[in-house]
Amino acid sequence: MIVSVSRRTDIPAFYSEWFMDKLEQGFLYVINPFNRKQVSKIVLNLDTVDCFVFWTKDAAPLVDKLHILDRRGFKYYFQFTITPYDRDIEPGIRDKKEVLRTFIQLSQMIGKEKVVWRYDPILLSNKYDKEYHYRMFEDYCNLLHNATEKCVISFLDMYTKTKKNTKELGLIVINTEDMVEIARKFSEIADRYGLYIETCSENIDLASLNVHKGKCIDDKLVERILGYPINIKKDDTQRETCGCVKSLDIGHYNTCSHFCAYCYANF
């Protein structure tokens, strides 16, 4: 079993003590977000857990606890998002310079293959225009190229709630031409720093630009970390464009205190 920690909230940033407590207990309960009467007990031990996948915008609270997972023999990797937005978009995130230092520290501790950088989502406005993204993406590549192997990108999906939360920000709809232009430029920049780019849940095919469709819950990366093959299918509960393999998510919606304007997990 691959355990997702978590698409629904930032457990490393806000609930690392809770997570470690549940790990100590050896189990936890997960409520089905679509049927709150359905509660499942999830056993957390080496017989049941192949790998933890941590999703975060700030891993700092969990970093000094990872030795406990290591000592117990648990395997894991991180999907670590760092984007160049100010507090008008991401009001609850620490100073980005500090978060960047945490990213590098984490990579030095556990290995760069286990820290996947997410520049996600890409949004456009008069303030955050293409040139701004190109400049910041290169700055981040310069800082992080020795601390990760790849960058995952996606373009903002304008969910109904996202439209409501961002209506005062003057966001510009990103069309196919924009996507191709941004992907081409990002690919050129990433290549200079020895990084490669994958997309997350995007319909558009950018393979000709050396930007390939990715899977954030990645069986190949899990196999690389474990050192042996696993047999796991594509997750058919996710969007059709999602490449992820099956996992079990242990988070709860409406519990993330980053309060990002584009977020789908607080509603």
The domains of the chain, with CATH numbers, are 2-249 (3.80.30)
Burial class of residue 52 (count of CB atoms within 10 Å of its CB; 0-12, 13-18, 19+): buried
- The pLDDT-based confidence of 1 (bands split at 50, 70, 90) is very high
pLDDT at 216: 98
Confidence check: pLDDT of 161 > 80: no
pLDDT at 163: 78
Phi, psi torsion values for 225, nearest 5 degrees: -70, -40
Query: Mean pLDDT across the stretch 144-152?
Result: 99
Handedness of CA 116, 60, 99, 167 (dihedral sign): positive
In percent, how much of the chain has pLDDT > 70? 100
pLDDT at 164: 79
pLDDT at 264: 87
Q: What is the mean pLDDT of the chain?
A: 97
pTM assigned to the model: 0.97
145 is written with which tokens? 């190229």
